[in-house]
Chains A and B, each alone.
Chain A
Amino acid sequence: MKTLLGKLVINYPYLFAVVLFIIGTIIVLTRDNLFKKLIGINIMESAIFIVFIAAGNIRGGAVPILDGGRADTVYINPLPSALMLTGIVVSVSVTAFALALIIRLYKSYGTTSARRIAEMRNEVLKHDSSHQS
């Protein structure tokens, strides 16, 4: 089992995390709608979370909450979950601010499509430059 596929089956959470990350990238890059781009960013973030949590996990280990006397318990690493707790809250803040910007853009341009917003901006800029000269 020294081939690439064999190693990837052993490391299956990383495999799925990479697939999720690439799907998120494709959603961000190929969809025009701003909501779809936001959802893609959220998917990419969750792929990063999966990598960190899988790195700290132990197969058959115990939850990092002390249970008294038993001395032979193998606890999992509590550090990645504490770091990712911060990451989740930051992701909620980023999503909220992006949603506010989407509302603002919709009020100004009347659409949530990034391509049409860019076209409108180009027209306005062209009009301004011709007006000045």
Chain B
Amino acid sequence: MRIRKLLIIIVALLAAYGILVAVAELPPYGMADNPVHNHVSERYINKALDETGVTNMVTAIVLDYRAYDTMFETIVLFTAALAVVITLKVSKRKEKG
């Protein structure tokens, strides 16, 4: 068991080195001309007020531009609550009967 834990830690550290070498080649953090800030975010920043009428852009994206996403996200939460209630209530009924 001890050898297994040691092996896991060694493999994890090797993986960490690999990921760090990859991460170091990302564009520098916090610069305004990174490739992340492309035309998509420019459109959201410039047009959000005209097209949705709200000042908070994150809410505009979550509830207007990507409203389908939020709809299925609420369904995910609903399914989680359903699964929890089913998992716990079925066992109770079995113990009673």
Contacts and interface: CB of A to CB of B under 8 A. Distances in A.
B57 A75 contact: yes
Interface string B69-89: 110010011011101100110
B37 interface: yes
Interface size class of B (residues with CB under 8 A): 35 or more
B24 interface: yes
Contacts of B36: 55-56, 77, 80
Contacts of B16: 18-19, 22
Contacts of B5: 30
Interface of B: 5, 8-9, 12-13, 15-16, 19-21, 23-26, 28-32, 34, 36-37, 40-41, 44-45, 48-49, 55-58, 61-62, 66, 69-70, 73, 76-77, 79-81, 83-84, 87-88, 91
11 contacts: A11-B23, A14-B23, A15-B20, A26-B9, A29-B12, A30-B5, A65-B56, A100-B88, A103-B87, A103-B88, A104-B87
